[in-house]
A and B are shown apart, each in its own frame.
Chain A
Amino acid sequence: MPKQVSVPPKVLGRSIDRRLVSTVARIFVAGVFLFSGFAKVVDIDGTIRQVRAYRLLPEAVVPTVGSGLPILEIALGVLLLAGLLTRFSAVMVTLVSAAFFIGISQAWARGLQINCGCFGNDGLNPHPVPGYIRELVLNALLITACSWLIRRPGSRWSLDAGLGLTLDDHDDDEDDADSEVPAIPLNGVQQ
């Protein structure tokens, strides 16, 4: 009786479609950035004050950062939603989120009583800690989603694929080969 062929353990790529996971990650990050970008862009003066409130940047660059940040967020949100330049956008989002993460952490550490500006809130808040935690968790989630996207930028319904900017199939094949159990000959005989 031939030896029973062992079934490879179910790896992620086999049980669910990785390209679909990338699509979900992409849309999640895009949604957060578009929402927060629009909330900021409708009140640029407020956003500039918010940037100032973190007391990290010199006053000379605060207005430029405050007005540029919402545009950058919206641009990255649009790119990710369209699935255009996914890896590049994911890297940029990671940098922006990391900057937010550091900004919030230092505000908390220094005991600044500010509402996080991430969703366009304003002003001093006597109980800022829940807000800090919420924003830190959100930014950690964004960074996690982006690190997935940086590794696997190929996703369903993306312009990248449509424009021939990625060769997802090849990427996937290579990645699959890494993670899979080596093929065992059907007759169980080692060659």
Chain B
Amino acid sequence: MTNARATRESRQAKAAAMRAAAAKAEARRRQMIVGAVALVLIALVIAIFAIVQTSKHNNAKNAGSTPGGFDGNYSVVVGQASAPVTVIAYEDFQCPACQQYEKANRAQLAAYVKAGSIKIDYRPIAILDRSSSTNYSTRALNAAAAVVTNSPSAFVTFHDLLYDNQPAEGTAGLKDQQLIDYAVQAGAPKAAVTAAVTKEIYKGWTVKATDEATTKGGVSGTPTVKVNGKTLTDVSAASVKSTIDAAIAAAKK
């Protein structure tokens, strides 16, 4: 009697265990199928997105006009060609740290330029479009390209005006009309600049300039300042001064 019951119970237990194992296997099988489908879908979406983004980026790059007046396509060089020290400055018009750099260094750099000991190689780029609601970074760079194309000597004044009147991050940035007014104030011809700014005809070039700086230039943020090829980690007035003085002394030897 007890034996029979034990056998029945053990048979039932065995059957239950088998059912559980089968259910588990079924769950695992379903998991594999859904997992494989999900993996393929995610991979597909990523691939399509990457391809679309790349082609969009390339199309944007090649659209519009190429500005004139730049050295080597992306530089505005200020100062005597014979100056022994070159200061390269990658800056974004929306970047607050660039504004601080400008505030701290503008006067002393101008004095060095005047003395013929340095030349400044301005390389404006646009990496902070998301800091404004209107892509101010790109619009400001486009306006700078318009100024350089039409009146290269007006660039530095325009550049300084934009840093002195830099819009705060997270705002709509300066309006097109304001950009045009500053360009005219700096000495650029109104009609040509107006057309270039309102239609953003140099937008494709702004993408190229930024790509060039972030790939070949090794720029990962702004301001990136290089003195005779050496990148400064500290762009305070004292650090810039001592680095430039050392470079001038080295050049004299």
Contact = CB atoms under 8 A, between A and B. Distances in A.
Contacts of A124: 97, 220-224
A72 B49 CA distance: 11
**Per DSSP, are chain B's interface residues mostly helix, strand or loop, or mixed?**
helix
B128 A122 contact: yes
Interface string A143-181: 000000000000000000001111100100000000000
A53 B39 CA distance: 29
B175 interface: no
A67 to B, nearest CB: 4
A59 B57 CA distance: 16
Chain B interface extent, by class: 35 or more
Contacts of A112: 220
A163 B34 contact: yes
B35 interface: yes
Contacts of B24: 167, 170
Interface string A27-48: 0000000000000001111100
B45 A85 contact: no
B230 interface: no
B28 to A, nearest CB: 9
Nearest to B29: A165
23 contacts: A44-B57, A45-B210, A49-B127, A49-B220, A53-B221, A63-B50, A67-B49, A67-B50, A68-B47, A71-B45, A75-B42, A75-B45, A79-B38, A113-B221, A114-B220, A124-B220, A124-B224, A163-B34, A164-B27, A164-B30, A166-B27, A167-B27, A170-B20
Interface of A: 42-46, 49, 52-53, 55, 59, 63-64, 67-68, 71-72, 75, 79, 84-85, 88, 111-115, 120, 122-126, 163-167, 170
Interface of B: 20, 23-24, 26-27, 30-31, 34-35, 38-39, 42, 45-47, 49-50, 53-54, 57, 95, 97, 127-131, 207, 210, 214-215, 220-224, 233-234
Given A42-B130, A63-B53, A68-B46, 7 more contacts: A64-B54, A68-B49, A88-B31, A112-B220, A113-B221, A124-B97, A165-B31
